[in-house]
Amino acid sequence: MRLRIKKSLFCLISVTFALSCQNHKNTMSKIDAPIAKKVAKELEKHGDVRIDNYYWMNDREDPEVISYLEAENTYYQKSTEHTKEFQDNLFIEMKSRIKEDDSSVPYKLNGYWYLKRFEIGKEYPIYSRKKESERASEEIMFDGNEMAKDHDYFQLGGISVSPDNTMASFAVDTVSRRQYTIQIKNLITGEIYADKIENTTGGSVWADDNKTLFYTKKDPVTLRSDKIYKHIVGTSVEDDELIFHEKDETFYAFVYKSKSKKYIIIGSTSTLTSEYQTLRADDPNGKFEMFNARERGVEYGIYHYDDKFYVHTNKDEATNFKMMVTDENKTTSENWVEFIPHRADVLLEDIDIFKDYYVISERENGLNKLHIVRWDSSDNYFLPFDNETYTAATSTNVDFDTKILRYAYNSMTSPSSVIDFNMETKEKTIKKEQEVLGGNFDKANYKSKRVWATARDGVKVPISLVYHKDTKLDGNSPLLQYAYGSYGHTIDPYFSSVRLSLMNRGFIYAISHIRGGQYLGRQWYETGKMFDKKNTFTDFVDCSKFLIQEKYTSAKHLYASGGSAGGLLMGAIINMAPELYNGVMASVPFVDVVTTMLDDSIPLTTGEYDEWGNPNDKASYEYMKSYSPYDNVAKQNYPNLYVSTGLHDSQVQYWEPAKWVAKLRDYKTDKNLLFLDTNMEAGHGGASGRFEALKEVAKEFAFMIDLEGKIN
């Protein structure tokens, strides 16, 4: 999935911004933009020939490619040198709102309380645990700061503790291509064993014998997760047994453990189809049994409870999904019995199972709902939420035998809270509310609302807005419009302390819930993919027109932003309606759609045919060519553009934005800014480290604020 979302305590969705040449024309006149050489490459398919003058950039080992990227970086840095002090001040401002010595709310698992915490002045989390009581002495499991010392990029993940609590598997990525190396640590002695498993997804699962570990390896070229292996602690990795090989190139494989801890489960999924196999966790040498063989177009997920499996599925045209139940020994679909029926107006998203209750996560008219039900049917109710710009979701609920539901809540004006809710007494305890430091934050100073734009085909598209109460809605305020719009991934309205740096300077922030996500149900996704993909782009443009028409902003002050597949959205809208935007920001943008989708050696390609289409089919080829940003660059004016990428990106290869910028610079007929900013050490998620990522955001914010002439 070409998805780029940075996850941190400030709940920031990665966004990029642009600037104007208004305040630095004199500077710009002294700096020449890099001009990439042209080497014509003929690309033929279905009798159609495309000429790609920048295909030569597809080699990150070529010194000439590196020189070009470095030249673009130098051009960007020199052209924005006058904003550097402001960037530094923005970084300090945003960082000052975030509590440095912060920690997560502990959760209990198998006799230990686990937490993640940060220390002042350090970039990476410390993972620790306390035995039996939250007041017990702390046992540090992993200190990310120590582990990251010798690396430009560092990501720790996949921590999995053995059932007897003595060992933990963990995974590290030091390149930013999401190829993790799994190792095992003895939590009693502190020893890290010699076992080193490379090129994995990072996750691993312990069997009940405390020595058998199941994990997923990736294809070294395509990075598709396709093989499940079994490793015995202390043995040679070369002797690991291949348990499952997913040979269908459109599927990805993974392995996990049921919440009940009774089963180890292998999953295989494509965009439209799911399949699972199960093995009792106390029988690691047994054979995985097929749960229900894959059926084209049938998606399902499984949850174990007592002697039954609950199946979340779209089978039999249940577009918004339904919940079925079946005996754990009779799992094929002919044995499934309806538990929660399909509803045309409610998207059933998930279920959390407890001993006495189950909690249904659903979405109606775009709004999250948590539906709590006792197994004996003696109680049945929804948690109340009171506005239209909130996000609510169940959180870490690993304990099965409890009456406490942990969930997270925030709104566009209210910081994130972690809440423990007693499902029996209906009492709630706020365990933690995100602190916004600095002394000048008052949520009463901000307003939020949900409005509805009318798309060109008559469909109503929701937009979530937030702004400072003193911001005038007279058409003269700057507005940043963000969207993603692919894979059924929903961008919910959420709080961001970082965003305050925009709103306190008069910016309005808008999330357009366009087709391609699932904000208004599964059909909202179905009508924004494949041969309906252009709905995603036209929805965004029509939202922009609505925001201008209703005088939230104007074309002189409207900015658009998106990353990854959202970067494709940005590329499409500037080809379609460049006159609507003063600046457009595309981070790690997926813009060379046709060429990428024709190259099955590139990560993600084969698994996404059901999202974009397979261009080996002529109709799909012609449709995606009609919107592919790189193929549709025209001799016209474009907005000011800021484009960012990472050299080691495994999701969207760096050469897509690099080629796109080179072609834009050759074609565009305006004198607006066009910058390519490449992080030479990072990948799809940007810089590692808690606060290093803020430096990237500070650059982006300064870029856009400068366009408004508000550098101060």
Tokens coding 670: 């305006």
595-641 residue pLDDT tens: 999 998 776 677 789 899 999 999 999 999 999 999 999 999 999 99
Determine how many CB atoms are found less than 10 A away from the CB of residue 225.
23
pLDDT digits (tens, 9 = 90+) for 111-134: 999 999 999 988 899 999 999 999
Q: What is the pLDDT of residue 30?
A: 67
Q: Give the list of residues 6+ apart from residue 460 with CB closer than 8 angstroms, or none.
A: 452, 453, 454
- Contacts of residue 441, defined as CB under 8 A and 6 or more positions apart, other chains included, come to 97, 497, 500
Predicted pLDDT at 685: 54
Position 160 pLDDT exceeds 60: yes
Listed by start position, the domains of the chain span 25-96+448-707
Which is more confidently placed, 298 or 712? 298
Pick the CATH number of 25-96+448-707 from 3.40.50.1820, 2.30.40.10, 3.30.590.10, 3.40.50.300: 3.40.50.1820
pLDDT of residue 682: 66
Buried b vs exposed e over 635-674: b needs ≥16 C-beta within 10 Å? eeebbbbbbbbbbbbbbbbbbbbbbbbbbbbeebeeebbb
- pLDDT confidence bin for 171, thresholds 50/70/90: very high
Is residue 207 within 8 A of residue 264, CB to CB? The reply is yes
Q: How far apart are CA 659 and CA 56, in angstroms?
A: 9
Stated pTM of the model: 0.89
CA distance 176 to 153: 7
Q: Report residue 313's pLDDT band, with 50, 70 and 90 as the boundaries.
A: very high
pLDDT tens digits, 477-516: 999 999 999 999 999 999 999 999 999 999 999 999 999 9
For 195-240, write each residue's pLDDT tens digit: 999 999 999 999 999 999 999 999 988 889 999 999 999 999 999 9
CA distances from 361 to 313, 380, 515, 578, 635 (A): 14, 14, 21, 39, 48
- What pLDDT, on a 0 to 100 scale, did the predictor assign at position 603? 66
Q: What is the DSSP string of 491-502?
A: ------STTHHH
pLDDT above 90 as % of the chain: 85
The pLDDT of residue 688 is 58
- Residues 6 or more apart in contact with residue 676 via CB below 8 angstroms: 69, 72, 73, 76, 643, 644, 645, 657, 658, 661
Residues 52-109: tens digit of each pLDDT: 999 999 998 999 999 999 999 999 999 999 999 999 999 999 999 999 999 999 999 9
Residues, the chain? 712
> According to the model, what pLDDT value does residue 159 have?
96
Which of the pair, 595 or 16, is modelled with greater confidence? 595
Q: Is the pLDDT of residue 259 over 80?
A: yes
Query: Other CB atoms closer than 10 Å to residue 470's CB: what's the count?
Result: 11
- What pLDDT does residue 655 have? 96
Kindly report, residue by residue over 418-474, the tens digit of the pLDDT. Answer: 999 999 999 999 999 999 998 889 999 999 999 999 999 999 999 999 999 999 999
Give per-residue pLDDT as tens, 675-700.
Answer: 999 998 865 555 556 788 888 888 88
CA distances from 633 to 273, 495, 532, 572 (A): 35, 35, 21, 9
Mean pLDDT of the chain: 92
Please say if the pLDDT value at position 382 is more than 60. yes
pLDDT number for residue 683: 57
Q: Give the span between the Cα atoms of 258 and 621, in whole angstroms.
A: 41
- Helical H runs in 52-143? 63-79, 84-96
Question: Mean of the pLDDT values across residues 283-294?
Answer: 97
Please say if the pLDDT value at position 711 is more than 90. no
DSSP 568-597: HHHHHHHHH-GGG-SEEEEES----HHHHH
Catalytic (active-site) positions? 564, 649, 684
Strands in 162-239 per DSSP E: 167-173, 180-186, 192-206, 212-218, 225-232
Q: What is the pLDDT of residue 1?
A: 56
Kindly state the tokens that stand for 190: 């502190």
